[in-house]
Amino acid sequence: MIGYSDCFRQNVLVCLIQDLKNAYVYWDFKPERIQTIRTFINNVKSGMKVYLRLCSQQSLNNKSIAKEEIELSQIEPGNYYFRNLDSDLIYHFEFGGYDHNGNYILFNRTPSIQLKPIEDSVGEYAVNQIVSFSLNSNESESDFLKIASSWS
């Protein structure tokens, strides 16, 4: 990223819910995280392609279904507009990849979000919300990425 100092980099995914149908998402990685992912791909899953997936959750069985995914050709900060979302669904985002056998390996998963209006301090309803999720090592990080971190 041109002119963007590494000291400002963070492991984060930010979702700006613009209305009940559209969300703008951007993500950022520290150089160490980028290197960890590259090391994992090079040493364990050669040829893996990395994706950001928007998934919906079925409330009855809590099963996750990928609704849309974008390939991250470069493991770098980026952004994307998710459009035509269903405000009745509960969503989350996943970073992960497909190996050469088509198996999906999860790196990180955000907590759930819903595209519902929220009441502001004066009793009016607003849709525009900013939801930020840390992508640092925590319970949402997969065992694969924790293992890969030990190689860096």
pLDDT tens for 82-131 read 999 998 888 889 988 888 888 888 888 888 887 776 665 555 545 556 66
Question: Cα dist. 53→10, 59, 124, 139 in Å?
Answer: 20, 19, 32, 19
Give the confidence band of 53 by pLDDT, cuts at 50, 70, 90. very high
Output the pLDDT for position 10: 80
The string of pLDDT tens digits covering residues 63-87 is 889 999 999 888 888 999 999 999 8
Output the pLDDT for position 6: 54
Predicted structure pTM score: 0.73
Beta strands in the chain (DSSP E): 12-17, 23-28, 49-57, 64-71, 78-82, 90-98, 104-109, 113-114, 118-119, 125-126, 129-134
